[in-house]
Amino acid sequence: MKDFTDKVAVITGAGSGIGRALALELAGRGALLALSDIDADTVADTAVRCGKLGATAVSSALDVADRAAVYAHAEVVRGEFGRVNLVINNAGVSMSGDVATMMWEDFEWLMNIDFWGVAHGTKAFLPDVIASGDGHIVNISSAFGLIAVPSRSAYSSAKFAVRGFTEALRQEMRLAGHPVGVTCVHPGGVKTDIAANARGLPEGVDRERVRRNWHRVAMTRPEAAARVILRGVQRNRPRVLIGADARGWEALPRLLGPRYQDLAVPLYRLGRRAAARRGITF
């Protein structure tokens, strides 16, 4: 897919952050947009913004953890546009917590959105993407889908799973000779509200302060992330890294193998101390 003009793009989590930035970038490039988010108001606002850029954009409230709802959404998109070329499974959440102390319901909540949401979106739209003759699927993993760190066991579980699922899908599409590109995206720190909305933060924490602090340390703006992702689609890249931090994290296991974990623990301790001095919670 070298060009996005008149391509039908499906984007989950389009109410804010990277999802909204992708919608606006694609609107400016002539795409037709099927946008969804669990927050009906924010995704409707994204659709209005895309409309002001001259794009056709339809918004839907959608919980990607609900398989039946995702398949119903796919039917609505087919009825509205008649085809689907590009699917970006972007919706995601975060959670902090150690294996020993995190609650099962929180673990399941995260997995249902960050992994099963990606699987639901991929499976529901894959027949349409194949039939389009010029299709691409983008699944958003994380830098923590390349390495694991303490307190992010649930998040890394989901993001490693997205990586494995997506890499296998790419191989299956090539093996079957389908005209479908597949890309797995690994963002580092992006200036979104994912940290402020995370579960597992200390009781009574000031989430607005968390948001401000995260925006201070995150290296990449959503608009820049969107451009990098779409360039990866155009070049049919199997893996897209977003930010110098993601490139650094990706290098650790490549250079050190599993011994990267020996380095990750002291780095994590240093990071926690430095963050605490700046009033940053993570």
**Mind telling me the catalytic residues?**
155
> Nearest CA to 87 among 15, 7, 25, 16?
7
Structure tokens at 221: 């703006």
- Report residue 152: phi and psi, to 5°: -125, 35
- Report residue 9: phi and psi, to 5°: -115, 130
Residue 162: Cβ-neighbour burial (10 angstroms; 0-12, 13-18, 19+): buried
Collapsing DSSP to helix, strand or coil, 86 comes out as strand
The residues with which 61 forms a beta bridge, in sequence order, are 37
Structure tokens at 157: 């579980």
Collapsing DSSP to helix, strand or coil, 242 comes out as strand
Q: Parallel, antiparallel, or unpaired for β 32-37 and 57-61?
A: parallel
Angle at 159 between CA 155 and CA 163, to 5 degrees: 170
The residues with which 86 forms a beta bridge, in sequence order, are 9, 136
